[in-house]
Amino acid sequence: MTDKEFKRLKRGELLAIIFEYQKKQEALEAELADVKKQLESRDLKISNAGSIAEAVVALSGIFDAAQKTADSYVKQVQLSTQNAEKQADDIIKKAQLKAQEIIDNAYKSASDTGNKHSRKKR
């Protein structure tokens, strides 16, 4: 509307127009408040997503360190087992040699004793 048209309107018509504009303004303000809430919600979600991503990265580092520790422990257990097996093999070999020595000495002793007995009989 032009200025001339506004000047020709009656007071009741002007009040009706003002009232309609106030309704529109209130509706727009309510819509603006709603949009602001949605924006804040999205900002919060984005912020939380960043926090979650940071947490995942931190946990990934923790899991990597735990895996390295576990791998190291498994290696140590394997080395310890290998050393124990080697020691066991060495002990078995020594015992077998000692047993063979005892058997050889027993045969020799029996042979010597048998020869002495057979010499006495003659």
Domain membership of residue 4 (yes or no) is: no
Give alpha helix (H) positions in the chain.
3-8, 11-121
Domain membership of residue 45 (yes or no) is: yes
Domain, as residue range, for 97: 9-121
Q: How far is CA 86 from CA 6, 71, 78, 80, in A?
A: 109, 23, 12, 10
Domain membership of residue 88 (yes or no) is: yes
Domain membership of residue 20 (yes or no) is: yes
Q: pLDDT at position 116, please?
A: 64
Number of structural domains the chain divides into: 1
Q: Are 6 and 14 in contact (CB under 8 A)?
A: yes
pLDDT band for 114, please (50, 70, 90 cuts).
low
CA torsion sign for 103, 109, 111, 113 is negative
Domain membership of residue 3 (yes or no) is: no
Domain membership of residue 38 (yes or no) is: yes
Model-wide pTM > 0.85: no
Q: pLDDT at position 52, please?
A: 76
CB atoms within 10 A of CB 9: 13
Domain membership of residue 93 (yes or no) is: yes
The more confidently predicted of residues 80 and 61 is 80
Q: How far is CA 88 from CA 78, 93, 103, in A?
A: 15, 9, 22
The more confidently predicted of residues 90 and 61 is 90
Q: pLDDT at position 25, please?
A: 95
Q: How far apart are CA 87 and CA 96, in angstroms?
A: 14
Q: What tens digit of pLDDT does each residue of 22-77 get?
A: 999 999 999 999 999 888 887 777 777 777 777 777 788 888 888 999 999 899 99
